[in-house]
């Protein structure tokens, strides 16, 4: 049995996550499912004893059915949020995620047959120029993908107790 790097204590939840940024022809790949009303990045929990790179490649394969190669580490994302539904309802959440840019394959064709917590996932190629029209997490993705970068970026998002539905994002 694999153990995820994370824990729950009282109403606190923490997870160490590895995720992928997969871009093909002006679109970025997100996942969605039948239960939730939003899209989310490809990725998942890092297992004990697993590197973030290995976790990203494993998660990408599990979700897309394709063996993508990593190009480079792009973002370390600290995400603070409160959840009001599902398994994390009422939890004060803190997630650290390593985002890896995957090498382009030149095609959007996937072989996805993914389930998460018993719910079927579907893959969605969302146009980068229109990401603000979608409820997609992480919220920094559109701005990140439309700007130039040198090295690894450290991004902190705080979505707790939002006023007007806005996310506070800091680029460190």
Mean pLDDT for all residues in the chain: 90
Other CB atoms within 10 Å distance of the CB of residue 70: 17
What mean pLDDT comes out for the span 40-45?
Answer: 96
**Between residues 123 and 172, which one has the greater pLDDT?**
123
pLDDT for the residue 84: 73
pLDDT for the residue 34: 87
Bridge partner residues of 94 (DSSP):
14, 80
pTM value is: 0.90
Phi, psi of 62 (to 5 degrees): -60, -35
The model's confidence at residue 167, banded by pLDDT at 50, 70 and 90, is: low
- CA–CA distances in Å: residue 81 to residues 50, 58, 151, 168: 25, 25, 26, 11
Q: Domains in the chain, ordered, with CATH?
A: 6-171 (3.90.79.10)
């Amino acid at each position: 049995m694999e153990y995820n790097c994370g824990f729950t204590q009282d109403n606190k939840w923490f997870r160490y996550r590895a995720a992928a940024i997969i871009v093909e022809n002006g679109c970025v790949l997100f996942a969605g499912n039948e239960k939730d009303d939003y899209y989310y990045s490809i990725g998942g929990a890092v297992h004990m004893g697993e590197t973030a790179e290995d976790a990203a490649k494993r998660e990408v394969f599990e979700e897309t059915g394709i063996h993508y190669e990593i190009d480079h580490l792009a973002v370390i994302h600290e995400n603070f949020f409160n959840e009001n539904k599902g398994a994390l309802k009422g939890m004060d959440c803190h997630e650290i995620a390593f985002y890896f840019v995957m090498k382009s394959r030149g095609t959007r064709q996937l072989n996805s047959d993914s389930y998460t917590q018993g719910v079927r996932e579907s893959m969605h190629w969302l146009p980068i120029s229109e990401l603000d029209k979608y409820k997609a997490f992480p919220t920094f993705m559109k701005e990140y993908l439309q700007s130039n970068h040198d090295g690894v970026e450290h991004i902190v998002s705080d979505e707790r107790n939002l006023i007007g539905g806005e996310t506070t994002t800091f680029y460190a």
